[in-house]
Amino acid sequence: MSKLSTSHLLGIKDLTHSDIELIFKTADNFKDIINRPIKKVPSLRDITIANLFFESSTRTRISFELAEKRLSADVINFSSSGSSVKKGETLIDTVNNILAMKVDLIVMRHPAPGAAHFLSKNVNAKIVNAGDGTHEHPTQALLDAYSIRQKLGNVKGKNIVIVGDILHSRVALSNIYCLKKLGAEVMVCGPTTLIPKFIHTMGVKVENNLRKALEWCDVANMLRIQLERQDIKYFPSIREYSMQFGLNRHILDSLKKEITVMHPGPINRGVEITSDVADSKQSIILEQVQNGVAVRMAVLYLLAGRHEEN
Amino acid sequence: MKQRQILDSKQIDLAITRLCYQLIEVHNDFSDSVILGIQPRGILLAHRIHKKISGIIGKKNIRCGDLDITFYRDDFREKELIPSSTQIDFDVEKKNVILIDDVLYTGRTVRAALDAMLALGRPRDVELLALIDRRLSRNVPIQAKYIGKTIDSIASEKVVVAWKESDGKDSVILLTEK
């Protein structure tokens, strides 16, 4: 296998196990390259990539832009604030106008779930989903799994708990797909109101007690409470949430084993995770960010290099 | 497909031995020289040459690395390319580099290898060694300094170099259609 089975990266759901392995293997090569004095390769020098961000982002956007530049692609950045989207232009029109300027690949983040799928059916370019609402965030899940693989040697057979706002989290959904495909055991943990009703159909365990979840797991992936997506109150107060589901030194030290702590960012320090945990040796948060560039380089390289048989 | 053997294992060994002595003539004790095999097929030849030279001049620490050129190729959208690893645990800066590949054909691989190598540093001098030189098929102006055997072949023909380590026995075969 030296080719992805799909011509867009819309979600982990569409990827096969061998796709994910291929991305990881390619990312290993790029990780090597970005640690060299000259961090660039000329592979995508004939490709133009547009980063369309209809929703705010720091890490993902910088990470994609760096990945694109290290592959020598030409990059244009677009954010919806200050653009004609505010004047009432539709998504397809905006994208087709950008494509008319000869863009080959689109990286898009959008607040509407399914926006990337919609675009892939309506415009003629390769699409990489950089997060669509509460649906999927495939590159984050790939870099999370890649970081687990790097830290623990393998993903298969490992116990991974995702803690927090599962209901509004695209990171959680993509992570569940990705980890299950790689053969890990997945548990979600959080207040019942923030756990989707049909989560058990995905074959994951559900736990409402953080201590029990931590005792079970090898890796804890802590998620942020997405207040911007919550139109009603799902729990009494942030303080109460933090008391029950926040990860702190005390609870980590009381466990019999040392678990690995992850966070996709942005961190709300003192809510889902305390500073002494986030900055500790057990946390691989900054490794995740570093691996993000290599994984995104692999995804872009494999998609841009994929030739269509006709 | 018609097969014709160009070199058998004994002839390959003779050619490699000759190439090694040619290299020693130029590079003396290899203190300022490094060997780089081009991934994936050039590294077996490079390792073999490295071993042989070490034996002849009785020196253990001759530097030899594997160079992957996948991300520097100009044809990755036409073919499916699987990247291999680059393993070079020394500096090429100000060194005399000997690039090694099994077959020199269009020269595009070597062009990519030059780019890949320059990303690692600025060598003083670069030479090319190829076991087989298909001299009539060049696309870019690249010439090998050390050649095992020169053959005249056309584009529809294929040269396959097999190695004991990966294919069971050493041989060079010319495949012709029909």
SS3 of chain B: the string is CEEEEEECHHHHHHHHHHHHHHHHHHHCCCCCEEEEEECCCHHHHHHHHHHHHHHHHCCCCCEEEEECCHHHCCCCCCCCCCCCCCECCCCCCCCEEEEEEEEECCCHHHHHHHHHHHCCCCCCEEEEEEEEEECCCCCCCCCCCEEEEEECCCCCCEEEEECHHHHCCCEEEEEECC
Q: What are phi and psi of A283, to 5 degrees?
A: -85, 135
% of chain A at pLDDT higher than 90: 76
Model confidence pLDDT, tens digit, residues B25-82: 999 889 999 999 998 889 999 999 999 999 999 988 899 999 999 889 887 777 767 7
How much is the pLDDT for A309? 47
Helix axes A170-181, A17-34, angle to 10 degrees: 110
Average pLDDT, chain B: 91
Q: What local confidence, expressed as pLDDT, does residue A307 receive?
A: 60
Instruction: Please report where in the chains the tokens 């109460």 appear, as a residue.
Output: A240
ipTM of the complex: 0.73
| The pair of three-digit structure tokens given for residue A34, joined into one six-digit string | 């970005």
Element (H, E) at A75: strand A74-79
What are A23's two structure tokens?
């991305």
Residues of A in contact with B85 (CB under 8 A): 28-29, 32
A219-222 and B33-38 beta bridge pairing? unpaired
Place of tokens 């003192």: A270
Helix, strand, coil proportions of chain A in percent (round to 5)?
A: 45, 15, 40
For residue range A46-57, what is the model confidence (pLDDT) as tens digits? 899 999 999 988
Residue located via tokens 């530049």: A69
**Mean of pLDDT over chain A:** 92
Q: What residues of chain A lie within 8 A of the CB of B71, using their CB?
A: 29, 33, 41-43, 71, 301
What is the signed CA dihedral for A205, A210, A216, A218, rounded to 10 degrees? 100
> Cα A240 to the chain's mean position, in Å?
27
Q: Which residues contact B20 (CB under 8 A, 6 or more apart)?
A: B49, B52, B53, B56
Q: Per-residue pLDDT averaged across B130-145, rounded?
A: 93
Q: Shortest CA distance to A3 belongs to which of A26, A19, A17? A: A19
Which among B78, B120, B121 has the least Cβ separation from residue A307?
Answer: B78
Confidence of residue B23 (pLDDT cuts 50, 70, 90): very high
Contact B72 A43 (CB under 8 A): yes
Domain B2-176 has CATH 3.40.50.2020: yes
- The answer to whether the Cβ–Cβ distance between A29 and B70 falls below 8 Å is yes
Closest Cα in chain B, distance from residue A48 (Å): 15
Nearest-by-Cβ selection for A2 from B77, B78, B81? B81
CA separation, residue A81 to residues A54, A147, A305, B136 (Å): 8, 33, 32, 58
Confidence label for A308 from pLDDT (cuts 50, 70 and 90): low
pLDDT tens readout for residues A209-256:
999 999 999 999 999 998 888 888 899 999 999 999 999 999 999 999
- Amino acid in position A160: I
The CA distances from residue A126 to A131, B92, B140, in Å, are: 15, 38, 32
Q: Which domains are seen in chain A, by residue range? A: 12-136+289-305 (3.40.50.1370), 138-288 (3.40.50.1370)
Burial of B149 (0-12, 13-18, 19+ CB in 10 A): middle
Distance from CA of B155 to the nearest CA of A (A): 23
Identify which of A10, A48, A43, A4 has the alpha carbon closest to the alpha carbon of residue A22. A4
pLDDT, tens digit (0-9, with 9 covering 90-100), for A132-174: 999 999 999 999 999 999 999 999 999 999 999 999 999 999 9
- For residues A133 and A193, what is the distance between their CA atoms, to the nearest angstrom? 19
Q: Kindly tell me if the per-residue pLDDT of A306 is higher than 80.
A: no
Residue A296: predicted pLDDT = 97
Chain A residues with CB inside 8 Å of B77's CB? 304-305, 307
Q: Which pLDDT value is given to residue A186? A: 96
Distance from CA of A156 to the nearest CA of B (A): 24
* Alpha-carbon gap, residue B32 to B153, rounded angstroms: 36
Q: How far is CA B1 from CA A54, B8, B102, B134, B174, in A?
A: 57, 19, 22, 19, 10
Output the pLDDT for position A310: 37
